[in-house]
Structure 1
Amino acid sequence: MSIDETEGLRNWLIILPLTFIGIGAIVFLCLWQLDVVPIEHLKNSSKILTTKEFIELKRQGISSVIEALKIVATTFGGAAILFNVFYAAKRAKAMDDSAIAANKSAEAALDNAKAALKNAEAAQDKQITERFTKAIELLDSKNTSIRLGGIYALERIAKDSKKDHWTIMEVLTAFVRENALLKEEEIQQEQSPKIPTDIQAALTVIGRRDVDKDPENQGLNLQYTNLDGANLREANLQRANLSEANLQRAYLIEANLQRANLSEANLQRAYLSGANLEGAYLSGANLEGAYLRAANLQEANLIEANLQGADLSGANLQGAFLIEANLQGADLSGANLQGAFLRKANLQGADLREAENLEFEQLETAFGDSTTVLPDNLERPAHWTQAE
């Protein structure tokens, strides 16, 4: 029911009783003026009435009419009540109809919103696909600046689209592998050519990616690549496959290499200070002269690794596997060697002064000589008398 209809009904219900009261008053005044005589008196109409008798007859007649009017009024009131109930029911039904219509409108609006969202998502997916395709095309350009544009365009897409994040990382690692493939003639070189600008840009984007978007238990594939002198400072390379990669003089300061595969990688004179190498696989890796000061090598696999002359001062080697590792001339001062496996490790010339949690039993399984500097609280094993 509309507002105008409700207002009209309310006015009608006010006017109706007022009109009834007014009519009742008029009727009462008129009744007194009427010559109302009871039926019983009509039988004796020849009888002369006294004033008192006349007034009594008049009163009785009026009372009879009033009783009749009461019956009429009751009937009228009942009709008014029925009238009110009818319009109340009609108003309730109108309100229900309005609520149903409003609900249908809301459902339609929700359906329209869902459709609009779906269309927007489809448009966005189409736009991202077009951007992705264009960025891939830019990577094939012979112009370095254009290739850089493609690399940073892919980084932007990876930030905008979670579902495309890992695909883009795989594209960039493939780009590095194809364009920085380690060649046989470069393996023996003292120093490889400077890393290309576009390769460095791709590595930077990979290293600063949002790792929360990485699929579980997935790692980057950069194996057998030439990354000599690459700047990977604070890069997140956890679980990355860098086996046999050339990382000579690479800047990996405070990088995250947790559980990374660096087996047989060339890390000669690499900067790994403060890096997290917990659980990393470094079997057979060349870490000669590497800077590993305060690095976390807890439970790292360094079996047969070459750590000759490496700076491991303050490093955490707790539980590390240094079996048959070459630590000749390495600086292990202040390093935590709790539970480290040193069987057949070469400690000739190594500096172990103030090494923490180093036990005599560990030294007994290793090789050393008079050039090995030991903590004051540990004696030199008897078989160290002569260098092995």
Structure 2
Amino acid sequence: MRDETEGLKNWLIILSLTFIAIGVIVFLGLWQLDVVPVEHFNNSSKILTTKEFIELKRQGISSVVEALKIVATTFGGAAILFNVFYAAKRAKAMDDSAIAANKSADAALDNAKAALKNAEAAQDKQITERFTKAIELLGSANISIRLGGIYALERIAKDSKKDHWTIMEVLTAFVRENAPLKEEEIQQEKLPKIPTDIQAALTVIGQRDVDKDPEYQGLNLQYTNLDGADLRDANLQGANLRDANLQGAYLSEANLQEADLSQANLQGPDLSQANLQEADLSQANLQEANLIDANLQGANLFEANLQGANLFEANLQGVFLCRANLQGANLFGANLQGANLFGANLQGANLFRANLQGANLSEAENLELKQIETAFGDSATVLPDDVERPAHWTQAGGETNAIAPI
């Protein structure tokens, strides 16, 4: 393209110089010629004076100059057309270059896509090889090698979103297979503590990126022995822990929202500030469990054993505690608003400043007036037939006054 531009520029310079040279030569030639107007031939015998001759010569030259102007205009028009032709040719060449450039760009993009696809395929192959190797490590008899396999799977779960949930299922299966709740161990007063590799697997599970979990999928850890497991701040939302042994486990600030803990052994674990909202704890053993400031709102505690449990300022709003054993439980400042305590055993339970507004305590066992005199209640609180409503509570149709005396 640059060579064509330079050629056009040189051609225009040559054409201009040629035109100027031709003009000069023609002018000089005309001055030497006897150019006489046609009308003079009608009177050619007349002798011309010098002045007349010069005038006639000037007139003739003027006529020829006018003719040359027409020729020059023609040359100029031709030059313009020639220039337009080259300009059009140049524009077409530029369009062709642009089209070629676009094709090159498309080809480069296709190559980039192919390269990316090849890179992804290579990465998938590498991850598959790493995954296979990690699974082999899990089957080793050496605990150190098993730990290496667990941490290798954790790394793969972070690197590959599509393999994340598969790895979580592998790890939960590893826990179920290697820490099952055996019948002969259930009969013992003290179950064996979980080994180091099981704890490592639980830590990885509890600290996983939950945003990568598929919808409507839950962790399966049912019938496992997790005695003394460290699950502090673990995210076990929606997990299946049915019949699991969590005796003495550390579950403070753990997220167990909507988890299935039915018939689970939670005797003596630390569940302080744990989120048990909407969890199923029916028939679970929570004897002497630490539930300080835990959120049990909407949880199902049907026939749960909460004997001696510490529920200090726990949120039990709307909880189903029908026939639950709360014997000796500490419910100081607990929110039991709207809770269902039908037939619950409240013998010796501490209800000081507990919120019993709208709670159902009908047929509650071993409930005494002195227990609820320092609690908050209202006209919607249902009491057993043999328990008198405290005087400071709101009477039906009366003025609200649910403040417990100190």
Q: What is aligned with 2:19?
A: 20
Q: Is the 8 A contact 2:363 2:384 kept in 1?
A: no
Give the partner amino acid of 1:168. I
Give the partner amino acid of 1:229. G
Structure 1 range deviating more: 365-374 or 118-127? 365-374
Q: Secondary structure at the match of 1:181?
A: coil
Q: Secondary structure at the match of 1:383?
A: coil
Q: Secondary structure at the match of 2:87?
A: helix
Q: What is aligned with 1:283?
A: 282
Q: Is the 8 A contact 1:238 1:256 kept in 2?
A: yes
Aligned-residue offset at 1:18: 5.0
Q: What is aligned with 1:71?
A: 70
How far does the alpha carbon of each residue in 1:144-188 deviate from its partner, in whole angstroms, 9 at most, with x for none? 000000000000000011110000000000000000001111112
Task: Count residues in correspondence.
Answer: 383
> Unmatched 5+ residue regions in structure 1?
none
> Using a 3 Å threshold, how does the CA distance of structure 1 residues 378 and 273 change in structure 2: closer, same or farther?
closer
Aligned-residue offset at 1:228: 0.3
Aligned-residue offset at 1:56: 1.8
Aligned-residue offset at 1:268: 0.3
> Using a 3 Å threshold, how does the CA distance of structure 1 residues 144 and 21 change in structure 2: closer, same or farther?
same
Q: Is the 8 A contact 2:242 2:264 kept in 1?
A: yes
Q: What is aligned with 1:366?
A: 364
> Using a 3 Å threshold, how does the CA distance of structure 1 residues 313 and 116 change in structure 2: closer, same or farther?
same
Give the partner amino acid of 2:364. A
CA distance in 1, matches of 2:41, 2:3: 56
Q: Is the 8 A contact 1:347 1:372 kept in 2?
A: no
CA distance in 2, matches of 1:70, 1:361: 115
CA distance in 2, matches of 1:55, 1:14: 37
Q: What is aligned with 2:150?
A: 151
How far does the alpha carbon of each residue in 1:34-73 deviate from its partner, in whole angstroms, 9 at most, with x for none? 3222344345444321112201210121022112212211
Aligned-residue offset at 1:295: 0.4
Aligned-residue offset at 1:364: 3.5
Q: What is aligned with 2:167?
A: 168
Q: Is the 8 A contact 2:263 2:285 kept in 1?
A: yes
1:383 maps to which of 379, 383, 386? 386
Q: Is the 8 A contact 2:351 2:374 kept in 1?
A: no
Q: What is aligned with 1:306?
A: 305
Give the partner amino acid of 2:386. H
Give the partner amino acid of 2:77. G
Aligned-residue offset at 1:19: 4.2
CA distance in 2, matches of 1:173, 1:323: 33
Structure 2 residue 273 is matched with structure 1 residue 274:
yes
Q: Is the 8 A contact 1:351 1:372 kept in 2?
A: no
Q: Is the 8 A contact 2:341 2:359 kept in 1?
A: no
Aligned-residue offset at 1:375: 4.4
Structure 1 range deviating more: 360-369 or 219-228? 360-369
Q: Is the 8 A contact 1:352 1:372 kept in 2?
A: no
Q: Secondary structure at the match of 1:24?
A: helix
CA distance in 2, matches of 1:382, 1:100: 93
Structure 1 range deviating more: 363-372 or 98-107? 363-372
C-alpha RMSD of the superposition: 1.9
Q: Is the 8 A contact 1:355 1:375 kept in 2?
A: no
Equivalent runs, 1:9-48 vs 2, <5 Å: 9-42=8-41, 44-48=43-47
> Unmatched 5+ residue regions in structure 2?
378-382, 389-406
Give the partner amino acid of 1:362. N
Q: What is aligned with 2:230?
A: 231
Instruction: Give the TM-score normalised by structure 1.
Output: 0.94
Q: Secondary structure at the match of 1:239?
A: coil
Q: Secondary structure at the match of 1:362?
A: coil
> Using a 3 Å threshold, how does the CA distance of structure 1 residues 360 and 127 change in structure 2: closer, same or farther?
closer
Aligned-residue offset at 1:102: 0.4
Q: Is the 8 A contact 2:273 2:292 kept in 1?
A: yes
Structure 1 range deviating more: 179-188 or 2-11? 2-11
Equivalent runs, 1:94-133 vs 2, <5 Å: 94-133=93-132
